Amino acid sequence: MNSDGRHLTDEDLMDVLDGARGGSAARHVGLCASCAGRLAEAREGLALARAADVPEPPELYWQSFPRRVAARLQAAPSPRPWRGWLVPAFATAVALAAAVAIIPRRATEAPASPAHTLAPWSALPPAEADPGLPVLQAAASDLDPALECGGLAECLADLSEEESQDLVQMLRPAVKDGSL
Amino acid sequence: MIGQALSPSLPIGAALVRPPAAGLRVDDREAVLACQSGEREAFDLLVERYQRDIYRLCYRYVNDPQDANDMAQEVFLKAYRAIHRFRGDSSFSTWLYRIAVNTCLNFRSSRRPEGEELPDSLPDKHAGALDAMVEDERASRVREAVSRLPEKQRATLILKIYHELTHEEVAGIVGSSVGTVKANLFHALGNLRKMLHAEAGK
């Protein structure tokens, strides 16, 4: 046991084995049969592990290995360049899509004041008649040719992990302030 | 770090240190940037530089030369396909090791039947019977035992003992804290010893 009545942790013992820790930990091992035993077992395991190297392939193998990888790479498509420009494009497109979908809904969900209650047939103009819609559609369609992946859904599905993370970072403030 | 001499402060694995490659070396970052700009030949340089490390890592995972060859090639294919996403947040070698460990884990899980891997802890039996092993046979059995360790313990032991990475580098590759890496390594060494003792006593 050490001064506070506890055995060393596995992490502590690994540090002792690694030579990264001496002092009180090393003294504890000298006094504690349990910790000394565990340390001795790990030390023996380390000696065993070191005794087994991987059989080395012939030099010819290493000379031909890059060629074999290159041959497989030639059959594979080239890596795509980083498409960082897609992130603001996606963010804009998503924001526009959300605006088209959410703004009319919020308008319909707004608490009705008796003084401003409209007849159901006149609550909102149909979407096709909304003068703002062509503007949004035009803005969104302007993005599509740049996406080069067949549409917003396909592009989103094709995003890499890092691109997705960037997109989330950009959209997070808008989600927090309720604009999305 | 792969391909670099072991720091004197890292006694574990010191017996397996390999000297750094002689002569001028194009920096990994330059080679990566060239790959990212479409120069596929630059990737050959990275393959040549890391092929031995990756092959050995794969070999220790599966203990089979043909599987190790297939897996090592797969690691480089995956790295090439993803290299445009490498931003240099970690060293290229650490990034490549991460791909290799994931490839090994997936390969193993799809090829090995469930239940073959050992539990995290083993009862200690037949201590003292190790002397009966012949040296060459023992090396083979050690490799086999390493390949049967629980995944995190195996990854940690291979990267730390045989590839001489720091605890911090191993933590970055396997996605654990440094403390967990140390604890996993400690358990791996203990389990390895127990497995070999049990094997020797059969």
pLDDT of residue B92: 93
Contact criterion met (CB below 8 Å) for A50 and B161: yes
d(CA A39, CA A41): 5
The first and second tokens of residue B122, run together, are 């083993």
- Which residues between 130 and 169 in chain B have a beta carbon less than 8 angstroms from any beta carbon of chain A? 130, 135, 138-140, 142-143, 146, 157, 161-162
The first and second tokens of residue A22, run together, are 């001496």
Question: Which residue of chain B is at minimal alpha-carbon distance from A38?
Answer: B190
Backbone conformation region of residue A133, classed left if phi is above 0, alpha if psi is from -120 to 50, else beta: alpha
Q: What is the pLDDT of residues B42-63, one digit of tens each?
A: 999 999 999 999 999 999 988 8
Is the ipTM higher than 0.85? The answer is no
Q: What is the pLDDT of residues B106-163, one digit of tens each?
A: 875 455 554 445 445 444 444 444 454 466 777 888 888 998 899 889 999 999 999 9
d(CA B201, CA B136): 17
Q: What is the pLDDT of residues A140-178, one digit of tens each?
A: 544 443 344 445 555 565 566 666 667 777 777 766 766
pLDDT of residue B11: 44
Number of A:B CB contacts under 8 A? 133
User: pLDDT confidence of A23, banded at 50, 70, 90?
Assistant: confident
Backbone conformation region of residue A53, classed left if phi is above 0, alpha if psi is from -120 to 50, else beta: beta
pLDDT of residue A27: 87
pLDDT of residue B134: 60
Q: What is the pLDDT of residues B7-22, one digit of tens each?
A: 333 344 443 433 334 3
Type of residue found at A107: A
- What's the CA dihedral at B83, B84, B89, B91 to 10 degrees? 30
Contact criterion met (CB below 8 Å) for B197 and B139: no
Nearest one of A76, A83, A90, A72 to A154, comparing CA atoms: A90
By Cβ distance, the residue of B10, B76, B81 closest to A69 is B76
Which CA distances in Å does A146 have to A77, A98, A140, B191? 21, 20, 11, 56
- Which residues between 103 and 122 in chain B have a beta carbon less than 8 angstroms from any beta carbon of chain A? none
Q: How far apart are the first and last CA of chain B?
A: 39
User: pLDDT confidence of B97, banded at 50, 70, 90?
Assistant: very high
**B47 CB within 8 Å of a chain A CB:** yes
- pTM for the full model? 0.60
Min Cα distance B160 → chain A (Å) is 11
**B187 CB within 8 Å of a chain A CB:** yes
**A37 CB within 8 Å of a chain B CB:** no
Q: What is the DSSP letter of A6?
A: -
Q: What residue spans of chain A are helical by DSSP H?
A: 10-18, 23-31, 33-50, 59-74, 86-109, 132-147, 152-158, 161-176
Nearest one of A26, A25, A19, A17 to A45, comparing CA atoms: A17
| Mean pLDDT rounded to a whole number for chain A | 70
By Cβ distance, the residue of B16, B59, B73 closest to A50 is B16
By Cβ distance, the residue of A11, A42, A81 closest to B179 is A11
Min Cα distance B64 → chain A (Å) is 10
Q: What is the pLDDT of residues B149-199, one digit of tens each?
A: 998 899 999 999 999 899 999 999 999 999 999 999 999 999 999 998 887
Q: A54-68, A157-171, B73-87: which has the minimum mean pLDDT?
A: A157-171
